[in-house]
Amino acid sequence: MDILTHFRSIEELTKTLSREQGLLSEMFEKRKLIKFPLGLAIDLVGGNETRLRKLVDYGVLVETGNTLEIESDYLNFFEEVLNVNEEISVLSVQECINTLKEHIGYFLQETNVNRKAGYQDNVRQLLKKTGFRTLKNVVDLKRNMDNAYKQEPNYIIKKKKLQNLDEKSHSIRVMIRECEKLMDNEHAFFIMANDPHMAKTCSDVKHDFVEAYHALMEIDRQIIFYINQIDQQNQLYKKIRKLKYLQDQLLIKTDTNLMQVLEERSPLWTESRQYNKTRLSLEMLRENEQVVKLLRRMAERNGIQKTTRAEAEPLTEEDLQEHIQQLEEVDSTEVWNAFLASSYDLFKFILRYDYKVKCTMEDLVTLFCQLVILHSDECRMTGEYAIYQDIEYPIIYAK
Choose one of 184, 210, 242: the last residue of a domain.
242
Q: Are strands 67-70 and 36-37 parallel, antiparallel or unpaired?
A: antiparallel
pLDDT surpassing 80 at residue 387: yes
In this prediction, residue 100 has a pLDDT band, given cuts at 50, 70 and 90, of confident
Q: Is 243 in contact with 256 (CB distance < 8 Å)?
A: yes
pLDDT surpassing 50 at residue 53: yes
* CA–CA distance, 121 with 124 (Å, rounded to integer): 5
Q: Is 4 in contact with 59 (CB distance < 8 Å)?
A: yes
In this prediction, residue 187 has a pLDDT band, given cuts at 50, 70 and 90, of low
Cβ-defined contacts of 38-43 (< 8 Å, 24+): 38/63, 38/66, 38/67, 38/68, 39/66, 41/68
pLDDT at 386: 87
Give the number of other Cβ atoms within 10 Å of residue 123's Cβ: 24
Per the domain annotation, does 280 fall within a domain?
no
pLDDT at 362: 87
Question: How is 39-58 classified by DSSP, letter by letter?
Answer: HHHHHHTTT-HHHHHHHHHT
What single DSSP character describes residue 249? Answer: T
Q: Compute CA distances 25 → 41, 356, 389, whole Å.
A: 11, 75, 72
Please, where are the H alpha helices in 321-360? 332-340, 346-352
Total domains, the chain: 3
Q: What is the CATH number of the domain that holds 56?
A: 1.10.10
Of the two residues 187 and 128, the one the predictor is more confident about is: 128
> Which of 7-21, 265-279, 308-322 shows the lowest per-residue confidence on average (mean pLDDT)?
265-279
pLDDT (mean) for 374-394:
84
Query: How do residues 130-174 score in pLDDT, each as one tens digit?
Result: 888 888 888 888 888 888 888 888 888 888 888 888 888 888 888
Residues 163 and 204 in one domain: yes
Query: How do residues 31-44 score in pLDDT, each as one tens digit?
Result: 776 678 888 888 88
Closest to 372 measured CA to CA, from 340, 396, 349, 348: 396
pLDDT surpassing 60 at residue 110: yes
pLDDT surpassing 60 at residue 349: yes
Q: Which domain holds residue 42?
A: 10-82
pLDDT at 1: 36
Mean pLDDT of the chain: 81
Residues forming beta bridges with residue 70, ordered by sequence position: 61
Residues 69 and 102 in one domain: no
Residues 232 and 154 in one domain: yes
pLDDT at 267: 65
